[in-house]
Structure 1
Amino acid sequence: MNKERSEEVRKIQLTGGSTFTLSLPKKWVEEMDLEAGEKMVVEEQGSSLLLSPAKLEQEESARQAEVNITSDESLDTINRKILSLYLVGYNLIKIKPAEERLKSSQRKGIKEFVRKKLVGTEIISESIEEIKLQTLLSYSELSAKGALRRMYSVATSMQENAMTALEEGDKTLANDVIEIDDEVDRFQMYLIREVKAAIRNPSILEEIGLKSMRECLGYRLVSKNVERVGDHAALVAKNVLEMEETISDESLEMIKEINSFANSIFEKAAESFFEEDYEASEEVIQELREIYRMEEKVNQFLTKESPPEAIRVRLILESIRRIAEYGSDIAEIVLNLTIDKK
C-alpha cells in the first residue's frame, strides 16, 4: 500500500543569533527510528535540500540475507530468490539447505548463475552446507552511467557481429553473439540494483553518479531498451544459425544498408541520453520514418528469394526495425528528461 504524500510548511528559526534551524516532523522521526543527537546527511539539489539519516549508509553496506532451500527446489526458483535479494541491495547472501546438505547440481547451478548474471558478486565460501555470496563492487566503482555505457557498448558490438555472421555465413560467430547476450543482462541487473538502492536511500545518488530520482527513472527505462536491443541482436544471430541457404548479394546489401541506418539511430539516441541533448533526440525520432520505407523496399524484393530464406530474412528485418524503434523510445525519454532545460 502506497503512503500518501504529506506536506507541511515550517518556519525557519534563528537561534543563538547566527544559526538557522528547521524542526523535523515528529511522525517522520519516529518512523525512521531516530533520536536526538543522531547525524543527518544534507545534500543540495538545486533549490531543494535532501535530508536522510546518516545511519542509512551504514545499514546499506551491512545488509545480509539468508535463503533456505529444499532438495527438490528447482534451480530457476533458487536463482530467482538470489536475484531478487541482489536487486534490492543485499551485500551478503547465505544459501543454506533446509535439510542436510546442498545438492551438487544446485551448487553448480548457483555458481554458474552468479558468474553469468551478478556483476561484482563473488562466492566467498562454499561447502555442502552453505554457499556465501558477497557483492564486493561498491557503487562508486561502477556508476549507473558506467553500467549503462557498458550495456550499450556490448549491444552495439553484438549487432555488428551478427551482421558480419550473416554476411560471411559464420555460424561460430553467430553462436558467440548469442552467448554474449548474458553480458548485457548482467549490467542491467547491476544498474537496477543501483537505482533501487538510491530510491531506498537518496543520499547515495551522488555515489552512483546521478543527480535526481527523475534521472534514476530515466536510466531504468533506457536500460530496458538497451537490453531489448541486445535481445534482437541475438535473434538476428539465431536466424543466421538456422539458415540453410545463402541469400543473394543484392538482398544482403539491402539488409546491410538498413542495419547501418538502424544502428545509427540507436547510437545517436544513446549519445543524446548521455549528453542530455534535446535537439539530437528530436532528430532521432524524425529519422525513424525512413526505417519503415527501407523495410518495405526490402520486403518487396524478397519475392526473388527462396521461400525458407525469405522467412529468415523477414525475421532479421523485423529485429533490425525493432532496434531502430528502441532507439526512438530512448530519444523520447531524453525529450521528457530535458524539456525543462530548453
Structure 2
Amino acid sequence: MTMELANNTRTVQATGSSSYTISLPKKWIDEHGIDAGMELSFYPAHGGELVIKSERTSARGQGASDEPRVDIAALSAAEVRQVVDALYAIGCKEFALRAENGVSPKQRRTVANAASSKTGLEIERESGSEIHFRTVIDTTAISLERTVLQLQYAALSMQRTVVRVLVDGSFDDLERIDGRCDDAARRFEVIDGRFRRALADVEELDRLGRSRRAVFDRYTTAGHLLTVTERFQRVADLLHGRGNVETTPWSDEFEDCARRSRTLTEAAVDAVLTASRPPYETVRDARRLVEDVTDLHRRANREDGHAHVWTVALVGLERSATSVTEIAERAVQASLRA
C-alpha cells in the first residue's frame, strides 16, 4: 500500500442479512490493474488482518518465466556463493544462474558445494552457460517448534560435551558432536527461509498457523541457539587433537554455571513456544547467571597460567548466559501478547 493510502478509511455497509461491503480506493485499484468484475482473494491473517490479493498478484511467480535468473558472468566464486545463499534464504523454489560466455569451472565447483550444503537444494539441470536449481524438500511439512527444539538439543549437547572434556578430560566424547554444528546451521537456514517468506507472503503465514510476531519469536530464539552452538564448536575445535587440558581452580564454578545455563535455556525456550505465562523467574535467574559468569571471567583474567581454550570457553559461556536472558525476555513479551 502506498503512503497516500496509509491512513485511508472506509465505512462498512450492510448489503443483506449476512454480508457487508466496503469500497476500495481507486488509486489502489489502478496500481494493481484491477477491473470491474475481477475476482479478488481474501486471506484472514493472525492478529485480525484481512489481506486482499488480485488473481493477477496471486499468480505471480508460478510460471517458469518468473524463475529468478541471475547473471554471474562478472562475479567471483565467493559472490556466486552469496547469490545461491541469498536465493535459498528468501525461499525461491526454483532459480537459475547464467553466464553468456559460459560458467567457469571454479564457479561451477562453488555452486555444487553451495547446493550440497543446503537442505533440499539440488541442481536440476545444467548446460555450459546455465545452472538451474530447485528445492525438493517440502518445507511446509517442517514444524518451526520442532526445529527450534532440535537446535536447542544441538546447542545444549555441544555445551555439555565440551564442558565435560574441559573438566573431566573425556576427550573421547568429542566424536559425539562431530557435524552437529553444521546440522544446526542447516536447520536454522530452514527456519530463516520460512521466516523471510512469512514476512512477504500471507499464505505462508497461514500455513505456519502463527502470527508474524510468533514466527519472529521462534526465528530469534533459533538464532540465539545457533550462536551458542557455534561458540562451543570453536572450543571443540581447539580441543581436537589434544590429549589433555590443564585444570583451573575455578573449573567447578565454570561447570556449575554451564549447568545452570542449560537448565534455564530449556525453561526459556519452552516459555517462548508455549507463551502460557510470563517467565519472570527465569529472566531473574538468567540475569543473575550473566552476573556470575561475568564475575568469573573477570577473576580468571586476573590469573595467569590457564590455557587459551579456557578463555574461549568462558566467552562461550558468557554467550550462553546472555542468550538465555534474551530468550527468556522474549518469552515474557510473547506471553503478554497472547
Q: Which amino acid aligns with 2:70?
A: V
* 1:149 and 2:144 are equivalent in the alignment: no
**Given the alignment, which residue of 279, 284, 287 partners 2:285?**
287
Cα distance change of structure 1 residues 301 and 58 upon mapping to structure 2, 3 Å threshold: same
RMSD across aligned positions (CA): 3.2
Deviates more, 1:224-233 or 1:160-169: 160-169
Cα distance change of structure 1 residues 242 and 225 upon mapping to structure 2, 3 Å threshold: same
Q: How does 1:24-173 map to 2 (within 5 A)?
A: 24-35=24-35, 36-43=37-44, 45=46, 47-53=48-54, 58-59=59-60, 62=63, 64-70=67-73, 73-103=75-105, 105-116=106-117, 118-167=118-167, 169=169
Cα distance change of structure 1 residues 293 and 100 upon mapping to structure 2, 3 Å threshold: closer
Displacement, 1:301? 7.3
> The residue matched to 1:59 in structure 2 has which SS?
coil
Displacement, 1:134? 0.6
Partner of 1:231: 230
Deviates more, 1:92-101 or 1:258-267: 92-101
Write the deviation string for residues 288-308 of structure 1: whole angstroms up to 9, x where unpaired: 21453366458657988x715
Deviates more, 1:120-129 or 1:231-240: 120-129
Displacement, 1:107? 2.2
> The residue matched to 1:8 in structure 2 has which SS?
coil
Query: What is the count of residue pairs matched by the alignment?
Result: 333
* 1:314 and 2:274 are equivalent in the alignment: no
TM-score normalised to structure 2 length: 0.83
C-alpha contact (below 8 Å) 1:239/1:316 kept by paired residues: no
Partner of 1:262: 261
Displacement, 1:78? 0.5
C-alpha contact (below 8 Å) 1:158/1:230 kept by paired residues: yes
Deviates more, 1:2-11 or 1:195-204: 2-11
C-alpha contact (below 8 Å) 1:167/1:252 kept by paired residues: yes
Q: Which amino acid aligns with 2:90?
A: V
Write the deviation string for residues 253-295 of structure 1: whole angstroms up to 9, x where unpaired: 4332221111112221111111114333x22211121453366
CA distance in 2, matches of 1:247, 1:276: 43
> The residue matched to 1:23 in structure 2 has which SS?
coil
Write the deviation string for residues 25-69 of structure 1: whole angstroms up to 9, x where unpaired: 222233333343223123164554343446655435555211222
C-alpha contact (below 8 Å) 2:151/2:225 kept by paired residues: yes
Q: Which amino acid aligns with 1:69?
A: I
CA distance in 2, matches of 1:60, 1:219: 27
Displacement, 1:252? 4.2
What fraction of aligned residue pairs are identical, expressed as a percent?
18
> The residue matched to 2:278 in structure 1 has which SS?
helix
Structure 1 runs not aligned, ≥5 long: none
Partner of 2:333: 336
TM-score normalised to structure 1 length: 0.83
C-alpha contact (below 8 Å) 2:272/2:331 kept by paired residues: yes
Q: Which amino acid aligns with 2:260?
A: F
